[in-house]
Structure 1
Amino acid sequence: MRPHKSAALLCASAAVAIGAATLVPSAAFAHGFVGDDSGDPGQTLTARAALKANGDMGGAQWEPQSLEAPKGFPAAGPADGHLASAGNAKWSALDEQREDRWQKNVVEQGDVTVNWKFTAPHMTSQWRYFMTKEGWDPNDELDRDDLELIETVSHDGSAASNNPSHHITIPSDREGYHVIYAVWDVADTANAFYNVIDVDVQPGDGETPEPVQDTEAPGTVPDAAARAVSSTEAEVTWGAATDDVGVARYQVVELGATEDDFRVVQEVAATQRSTRLTGLTPGELYDFGVRAVDAAGNIGLAHAILTVRMPEQAAAPAAPQHLHDMGTTESTVSLMWTAGDDTRGVRYEVLRDGEQVGETGATTFVDVGLRAGTRHEYTVRAVNTEGVASALSNTHVATTKSDAGSEYPAWDAHAAYTKGDRVTHEGTAYEAVQSHQGHGDPNWITALSLWEPVR
């Protein structure tokens, strides 16, 4: 529990330290990345991991869509020095940082279009784009202190596929080699996807305007408020602050017990007027403030302190048991399970291959719209009226029936294959490039070193 403080603690001259613990990302599956996988840096803005011209990247070039880690950057997310790999040792080669190491996307100062390729378009809350600051050291490890937020693209929580193209602005004071750090925040999981984009910034057309000498800090943020939305999440909202040149971004700050004990827990673009803070402790008392920052780095005084007491977390319901299927077709799997002891007000979330695909109040569910001959892993969890989820049920593996008209058998991620073998997967025929033993990774069918589509 934290004692109350005076708003004067949040003076404009106070220094901000942003820390982040080392976090281990969850198991990666196909999701998405910036650009395409053609390997040509001159055609479209493309992430470091997807540029084949970058050479050896520890296998990341075959799986650029899976750079996943806990969300909440910059307060959380991958640790400093491991931003490019999203903290996954499997792709640690991406963290090598030298001025001459990586192929560059040539861009001009001003507006730039960023196109995403989604292989699994998750429910999405936002995308955010950070960029290395003027004077950063390109031969030192990349860390969050090198970066500042330059754009936020908000989303409505729906699937990402309806918003694949974004427009960001390269600041006029950036020139030469820089890094853009693209962060895709998923709405219905605790994770985000992190893409490093190496760029060579050229001066824009026409004369570069003289920089504005801005020494005046923004005004106090009006109408700020905070409320608990669950035992571990709080929502903070605010109005627009004023500035003589213009507000560039807002910072949500958590206050500690002394004048120097506070930290930035969230930073958003100037167009955003709310944010959700996650990972809070049930029953704890928090004091937050919101302050505006202009493009010159001047920091305004925070709004009056926003005190939030998080509710105590309710007990989790019992996990569902005995998950099994009652049959499959070429496009459906019919699931059934046994409820736990306490079922009052409980709803069930059904997960296919680790992603939620449905919700029901019954103990049965039919998963529809599947492809013939595909293997899926299912789990179910119970969620009570307080939003507290149970542990996951047992994992049940089900495979849809193969298309009777298919020329080749369905691909099995656990099977052994010999070079030249042919299989079908999600309507496409593939031929094995080399002999190999599968270990259950659902991405191997798209790894060009193992399989290639039959033309």
Structure 2
Amino acid sequence: MNQAEQNSLRGPVTPRHGHVFTPASRAYFAWQAGMLDEGALNQREAGKFFPQTQAGLTDPFAKDDPKNLLPPPDGKIASANQATGKMLDQPGDHWSKHEVCSGDTLDISWYFSANHRTRRFNYFITKPDWDSTKVLARDQFEAEPFHTELIELQPYWAYDAEMKPSNPTTHALPLPAREGYHVLLAVWEVADTGNAFYHVVDLDFLPGDGDDRPSVPMGLKAAEVTDKKVALSWQPSSGAHPIECYQLSRNGTDTFVVPAPITHWDDDQVTADATYHYSIVAVDSKGARSRPSAPVVVRTLGEGGVPSAPQSLHSMGQAVDSIRLMWGASSGASPIDRYELYRDGQQVAPIAGDRTEHTDGGLQPDTLYVYQVVAVDGEGKVSAPSNDLAVRTAVKSDYPAWRLYQDYASGDLVSHVGADWRCRQAHQSLSEDWAPGAAAALWQQHE
């Protein structure tokens, strides 16, 4: 097998699996600045159960959930020990910050490019006497989360949509008493893998309680979405001083000013089949700004009003005779009725519109397959296809198939892309770029 074919097996870079976008996390700011691509933004991923330091632990609440993989080490918490985000771990107080007050309720929102059955969200904050000149480490944070959102359903494999958070998901966090610069750590723990997703948010706690600020604009929603327009509306704010205007933020970078008392706005600068994040603040006649509203995430329809294309089709694992596939949900003018999965150009199976994963079975070992998925809405309109995904079933071998997020010791033997491989140095397989055939420093072919 040549290198080009080996590269094709990894498929396109997929924007998996989620990030904090309001208030913008450190990684989100880096993505806006062009320092991270979309895939790296969504893959701040390492083992769950922070602040634990070891892998192989059982969830004390949900003992049937997969055991955790290795959590990020001290000094690599913001990057989740991912090399693509190592700049996020730099110590210092130079990071872009969000102004808050002690006692505020901070709305923090996640966007999922590929949703998972979820066990919990944990939110940690740095101690009152933490030192920003040092790297983020466990002893810089309070030992316990100040807020947790737990999904209690068990066992995880008996549920699907019930354990997948809405997209986006917003949590209202009552902030503890702090002064000055602090770091909030948001951790999304997955129920059906050993991993979690890590995002840090930099906060500047201002003196006072913020009661003289305008009220937060409530009810922001997309009243109409087409392939050319997003029509937004919201409820009016109030405060100690008259509201002068509203400032709408799109994707955290573009700002649009709407004079009060108008409480609606049409964004006609959108493109078809694209995702947009909107939030809004109120500004009064003294220049005081409210806290941001709960955000709304909108995906415009495909060209001509068809559903948006399924996003981020990727493999969650290959066996000798099956491949587990997952993708991001589509949206349309009418609800999604079904997804249609294609293998090598032929339809495999219809999949219910509320599901975004499927295990394709009955396959041949060590065989390359190419997949696409399309969405069909209740009116029969068909989306554009997802990305093409080329993936190979595992080879029949005396050795186990190579897998992501596994600990490998020097000398371990695995099978991958039609060959057997010997591990050259101990590591955890945190990226497809570390796979046998792609990382010569880690693996050599075993004859």
Normalized against structure 2, the TM-score is what?
A: 0.42
Q: Which has the larger radius of gyration?
A: 1
Normalized against structure 1, the TM-score is what?
A: 0.41
